[in-house]
Amino acid sequence: MCSYGSCKKNIFAFLEVTDYDLKLLFIHHTGKFNYLEDPVLQCDKMKVIPIYFKELEEAIENIPAHILAHFDYGFRKFDVTVEELKDFEPQRPARPLSQNDRVQLDF
């Protein structure tokens, strides 16, 4: 099993030669374990969550997907408050997804 970071080349190569009507984007794995497996609970959530968000942000910016699926996957096992999540709000203005001109929705 690999993560987005460790399998980028394989992911891009696969997407290059496949044609899907709809592409979902999600990150389930760290490269060591699935975010829903018990080993994640032995980690500090305040260290895991920013790593997950960074990987998710990079994937969003680089993979031409139509839907961001279950974006909370990387921190579902943790007891996280809204206040704690506010610590991870972007420090720069967010770019609305509707301005992503790399993806054409033809529904």
Fill in the DSSP letter of residue 42.
G
Is position 103 within any domain? no
Is position 28 within any domain? yes
Written as one letter, the residue type at 22 is L
Residues of the chain with pLDDT > 70: what percent?
Answer: 79
Distance CA 74, CA 45 (A): 10
Is position 105 within any domain? no
Q: What is the pTM of this model?
A: 0.74
**Residue 68: enclosing H or E segment and its boundaries?**
strand 67-68
Q: Does 27 or 93 have the greater pLDDT score? A: 27
- Residues 36-82 pLDDT 10s: 999 999 999 999 999 999 889 888 888 888 999 999 999 999 999 99
Is position 12 within any domain? yes
Q: Which domain holds residue 29?
A: 4-16+23-97
Distance CA 90, CA 107 (A): 31
